[in-house]
A and B are shown apart, each in its own frame.
Chain A
Amino acid sequence: MSDLRSPLARARGLGSARDGLHHWWAQRLTAIALIPLVVWFAISLVMLSGADYDVVRAWIGSPLVMVLLILTISVGLHHGQLGLQVVIEDYVHGDGWKLALIVAMRFIAVIFGLAAIVAVLRIGFGG
C-alpha cells in the first residue's frame, strides 16, 4: 500500500498538501538573503540613531538605499511571515482560530510591507 491515509482523510485535505518543501526552502532562501541585508540594516539603524528628518529622508531616498531597503522590507516580512505561520501552527490547535490567525497575520505583513515600500518610493521620487 502506497498511501497509509484513509480515503476520507485524503478527501478532507488535511495532512500533507505537498507544499512543505516549498515552505522549508523559501524560509532558508530568505534567511540566506537576509544575512547581508540585516547586517547592513542594523549598522544603518545605529548610524542613523538620533538623526533628524532631512538626514533620514536623504538616506532613504538615495538609489542604493532604496533598493536595499525595499529588499529588506519584502524579504524580511516574507521570512517573518513564514516563521510566524509555523509558530501559529504549533501552538494554536483549533482549526478555525489557526486559519483566522494565519490569514490576519499575512494580511498585516502585506499591508505594512506595501505601505513601507510606497513610503520609500515616495521619499525617493519626491511625492
Chain B
Amino acid sequence: MMSVENEFDDKTLRERIAENPRPAMLWVAGLVVLMALELGSIAAAVLRVGSVVKFAIGGIANTPSWMAGFVSESLGSIGGTIAYGLTALALLVIAAIVVKWLFVPFSIVDRLGLELGVGKADVVERAIVTAVVGVVTLLFVATPLGAAVDAVIGALTQGLESISSLQTLTSRETIPNQGYQLPDGSWEGTWLGLSPAMAWGARVLLIYAYAFGLLAWFWRGYNVFRNHYREADWTPRDDSVNRFRNHYWGVFGFVVVFVFVVMALWAPALSPVTAEANLYSPYEHEVQYYDEEIEDVASIPHGEANLETRSVGGDSNVGLMSYDKYDRFHPAGTNQDGKDLFTFLAYGSQVSLVIGLLATGLMTLVATALALMTAYYKGLLDLLTVVVSDSIISLPRLLVVLLLSVVFMEANHPIATIYDGGLLLALIFAATGWPLLWRAVRGPALQVAEEEWVDAARSYGQSPVETMKKHMSPYIAGYMLVYASMTLGGVIIGVAALSFLGFGVQPPTPEWGRAVYEGRPYVPTSSWHTATIPGLMVVFLVTAFNALGDGIRDAIDPESDASGDEAGTSAAASGGGG
C-alpha cells in the first residue's frame, strides 16, 4: 500500500522558492529598499519594544518577592518564603509551557526513550522543560553568564541606538516646515524655501505615499506567494479576499482605519511641531520669528508664543490652515491654550489606538477562550459563564468604568500611573466588555461544536484543546474579527467620553475626548474648530471601524448578508454605548 517512489513528493516552502527564486527575490529586494529608507525608525521601534519587554520581564521577576512581602505581612517570614518559592515555581511552569510551545516541537520523552502512559508523559515532559528553564534562570542569576548576556544586550542596544539616529525618508528633518518669513516674503529655514504650509503638505503626502506603497508591496507579496509558491491553487480565503475587494463600504472603512493607523505611527513626523515643544515642555523649546519692531530675527519660547495664539473666540482665534503671528503653521488651527491642534490630534490617535487595541485584544482573547470552552464542554462551565457575563452586562457599563477608574486613580494605584492611566482604562474596558463579545460568538461556537467533524476528531482521539484550535476557532475567528472591529470603535468612544467627563487619560497626554471637552465652550464662537474637529474625527473613525467590520463579515460569510445585518447593527449599538 505504501509507495516509496512518489511523484508528488512534498516540498517545503523553502524548496519551492529555491526552485523558482526570481519572483521572491524581486519582492524581497523591493522590501529591502523600502525598509532601508526607514532604517532609523525601525531601529527606534525595536528599541522601544525592547524596553517594554525589559520592563515587563522586570515586573514579572519581581512578583515572587512582591508576593512574599504581601504574605509575610500577614503570615510571617516563613509564610513569605513559602509564598516566594510557590510564586517562583508557578512562574517557571508558565515559562516552561511557553518555551515548550515555541521552541520544542518534538517530544523530549520520546527522544529519551521513556516508556510512559500518554497522561504521565505530558506531565513528565512539562517537568523536564520546567527544570531546564529553572536551571537556565539560576545560571543567569547566580553566575557571570547573566552579566555577559547583559553586556551583549547593552552592545546591541548601543548599535541600534546609533542606527536609530539615522535620518529616514519620512522624518520631519527631511522636509522641515518650521521657518520664518522675511519682509520680502521669502521663507528662511523651510524646505526649498517653500512656505511652511507647502512644506508640511509635501511631508504629509510623502508619508502617506510611503505607507500606501508599503501596503501595496505587501499585497503584491501575497499575490506572488499565491501565484508562484502556494501548493493549493484555490483556498476558501481567496474568495473572501475577492469579496472584500468588491465591498466598497468595507474598503472605505479599511482605508480610513489605515489612514488613522498611519497617523498614529507617524505622529512625530506628521505634526507640524514636535510633541515636546507643543505639549510637554513648551517653555524649554524656542521658535524663531522675524520681529518687525526690531527688524531682525528673534526667538521666543513656544509657551510664551502660545499665550498670543489662543483660539478662544472673538479676535483671539487661529483657524484652520492658517499662520499665527509667529509664522507657525497650524493645519487644524490652535486649541484654547494656543497649542497646535493637529499635533494634539496626531498624538491623540496614538493613545486611542493603543488603548483601543489593548482593550479589544484582551477582550477578544478572553471571549474566544471562553466561547470555545463553553461550547465544547457545555454544562456547568457554560452556566457559570452565563451567570457571570449576565451579571456584568446588567451593570451600566459607563458608570462602572467611571467608578473603577476614579477608585484606582484616587488610590494612586501603580497601574494607574502607566501610560497616564491608559493601561488602566484598557484593562477596565476589557473587564467590562468581554461578556458582550462572548455573547456575540456563543451562538456560532455552539453551532460549530455540534458539527460532525468535531465528533470525528473525538473519535480518533484528538485532544480537546487541539479540537478547539483546529476545528472550532477558525469558524469563530471571522465573527470575532467583525465584533472586535466594531467594539474597537466603542472603546474609542468610551475613552473619549471618559476624558470628556474629566476622568480619562490625564493631561498632558493628548486624548481626543479631552480636546472635545476643553474646546466645548468655544463651539458657538469663531473658534468652533477646537471641539468640532476632534469630535468629527471620533465619529469618522468609529464609523470606519464599523464599516470595516461589516466588510469583513460579508467577505467571510457570503450568506450572512440578510441575517447578519441585525446582528451587526446591534453590535454597533452596544459597541457605541460603551
- Check if A and B associate: no
Residues of B whose CB lies within 8 Å of any CB of A are: none
